[in-house]
Structure 1
């Protein structure tokens, strides 16, 4: 009887052990934990794509790839080389020369924030999604100069990456998965913790001075046609009067703006509207970094706009009027004061967005 009672007590445990053994025999894979982009209360709704759903493990894989110098052909450059967290994921250079060729790039490295809400990438919208965007800098000879098959081979030699890709994508390492993992991480780069955000959401620390509030009103009134809403960008393309001539065919039409992609003459000289968020950290400004300071930017809009056929209509002061946006000295000071409130210190100090590797060492597993 004692033996029978012992058997009955052990039976549930034996059943559980048998079930676990059955799962292992069936080869069931560990499940990833699904993750969503957290939408701040003052942000617009987010329509997530279904083809590359976020997981905690996928985001972490993307973060490791973002900071890994193996992604460059010479193993010295990572995505973070030109997108530093402390600078709101820019590099502080007008035209970076950090690339493999050592020559200045032809466009300014844009900041990375709130990309889950974006509908086009690069200054001319040359990529429709983050997954395809990644391969531009990865393969460009003057940027990371990487052969994708060689990259796959190199990553396949690293057991940690092999297991991570297997867990996230249930497959061996492939170039497409590299782009997807990077995209997952970049979609978590949400910047919504500035003093302005806390003011709007009535959170602690959300105080704004009268000068800053005046600046907000001026921005909404005079800059809001492009820098619109809580994202402070319309995610569209505009000719903001920087140049008169866009017919330069060199460098694959890089100076033609959106026309380079659309081949629509109405798009000559049009570039994507950057967000105003963290703008005090992302100098210099414009697609080619030509303006070193916000003061230079405001001077351009008030006095330096050049009129061409594709100039944004909002930069013309009525029919036959002068070009530009009238801004008094007081208004410009108010704008600068307000833009300071858009700096998100939580974003640039968030350890979840920082390198997962040891300081000054980008390839540690």
Structure 2
């Protein structure tokens, strides 16, 4: 009886081991068969169709990897600053200063850090002069700039390979060899996250979509109509930007110093008609994204309106859309109209966007 009992016990153990091994093999097979979950952008109902980069399709895991990287100080040479250091969610991913000097060199930058949102609709280049073609190429600018993150890309790859979680995430999202992490993958992940930074939940948006009975008051409605008549087509459509380049009359001359950063779009195209032209920022979240212009020279919205009313400087490329004062440069507004424009601009603030946990630091 004892022998039979022992035999039964051994048989039971063997069966259990076979079940465990079988489950393990099935689990490994399931894991191998898993693929990143494809994601479609959640486009607000009043927005145009978003641009999809077929070379970098969105996945839930790729977006999350990009979010982790966006907030990771390891992306800088000294492991001191991250992308988020100059792009704060509470300020619609701008930084609140005219020209930052928190980069690796400590030197003051020549241009103001732009706000980051609705980038999935930007097809005409990024940076103030359109110097990068898309988000994937844009990432290498700040990553490698001596005055910004000053990171050696090969060193960055090696650093991230020391983090088991990153090794697993990169392998799952992008495939490739085991433990392979390349700078191109880093840029793609960052781009995926940034494409999800969609701001379309302001009071204006809810009014446009007829949500929850949201209405604009009389002053806000007047301001909306004034913006449409006075500020378009530069601040066009539901995005409140044409994503193009204009000389808005803040300078008369455009020196070629500092690698031509003051020459605007001309620096990229070398077309004389582009001298002094810079990319049109969106009016969305404009109350949050002070200071203003490519060099942050205007601290307040009032200063911006002062410029457009009485401060437009003329040059051979000053945009003809600014000649609204009986053939002279300047946008004519009464004080009442100006107050209405300001009232409307406040309706473009998107509190949901700046508090959305999906865009926040995953480590907090």
What TM-score, normalized to structure 2?
A: 0.91
Partner of 1:285: 292
Who is 2:357 aligned against?
351
- 2:134 aligned with 1:129: yes
| Equivalent position to 1:167, from 168, 172, 182 | 172
Structure 1 runs not aligned, ≥5 long: 1-13, 359-365
Q: 1:18: Cα distance to partner?
A: 6.0
Q: Residue 222 and residue 142 in structure 1: after superposition, are their counterparts in 2 closer, same or farther (change >3 A)?
A: same
1:289-300 equivalences under 5 Å are: 289-300=296-307
Matched residue, 2:263: 256
| Rg larger for | 2
Structure 2: how far apart are the matches of 1:21 and 1:77?
43
Q: 1:146 & 1:199 partners in 2: Cα distance?
A: 45
**Structure 2 counterparts to residues 314-329 of structure 1, below 5 A:** 314-317=321-324, 321-329=327-335
Instruction: Give the match for residue 191 of structure 1.
Output: 199
Distance (whole Å) between structure 1 residues aligned to residue 308 and residue 209 of structure 2? 31
Q: 1:25 to 1:118 in 2, by over 3 A?
A: closer
- Given the superposition, is the C-alpha separation of residues 334 and 60 from structure 1 closer, same or farther in structure 2, using an over 3 Å criterion? same
What displacement does 1:25 show? Answer: 6.6
Cα–Cα, structure 1 residues 297 and 29, in superposed 2: closer, same or farther, change >3 Å?
same
Could you report, residue by residue, the CA deviation over 1:219-273 in whole angstroms, capped at 9, with x for unpaired residues?
A: 0000011000000000000000010111x22211010000000000000000000
Across the two proteins, how many residue pairs are aligned to each other? 343
Structure-1 residue corresponding to 2:8: none
Once the two structures are TM-superposed, the CA of residue 147 in structure 1 deviates from its matched residue by 0.5
For residue 59 of structure 1, give the secondary structure of its aligned residue in structure 2. helix
Q: Distance in 2 between matches of 1:251 and 1:206?
A: 48
- RMSD over aligned Cα atoms: 1.9
1:221 equivalent in alignment to 2:229: yes
Once the 2 structures are TM-superposed, how far is the Cα of residue 301 of structure 1 from its aligned partner? 0.4
Cα 1:297–1:26 change in 2 (3 A) is: closer
Name structure 2 gaps, 5 residues minimum. 1-17
State the distance in 2 between where 1:29 and 1:173 align.
21
SS in 1 for 2:341: helix
Distance in 2, matches of 1:316 and 1:26, equals 65
Distance 1:131 1:217 in 2: 37
SS of 1:47 mapped into structure 2: coil
Question: How many angstroms apart in 2 are the aligned matches of 1:216 and 1:58?
Answer: 38
TM-score scaled to structure 1, two decimals? 0.90
Alpha-carbon distance, 1:212 to partner: 0.6
- In the alignment, the residues of structure 1 paired with residue 118 and residue 357 of structure 2 have an alpha-carbon distance, to the nearest angstrom, of 17
Contact 1:227/1:275, CA 8 A, preserved across alignment? yes
Match of 2:105 among 79, 85, 101: 101
Pair 1:41 & 2:45 matched: yes
Query: Given that residues 195 and 205 in structure 1 are in contact (C-alpha distance below 8 angstroms), is that contact kept between their aligned partners in structure 2?
Result: no
Secondary structure, aligned partner of 2:167: helix
Is the Cα–Cα contact under 8 Å of residues 259 and 268 in structure 1 kept in the other structure?
yes
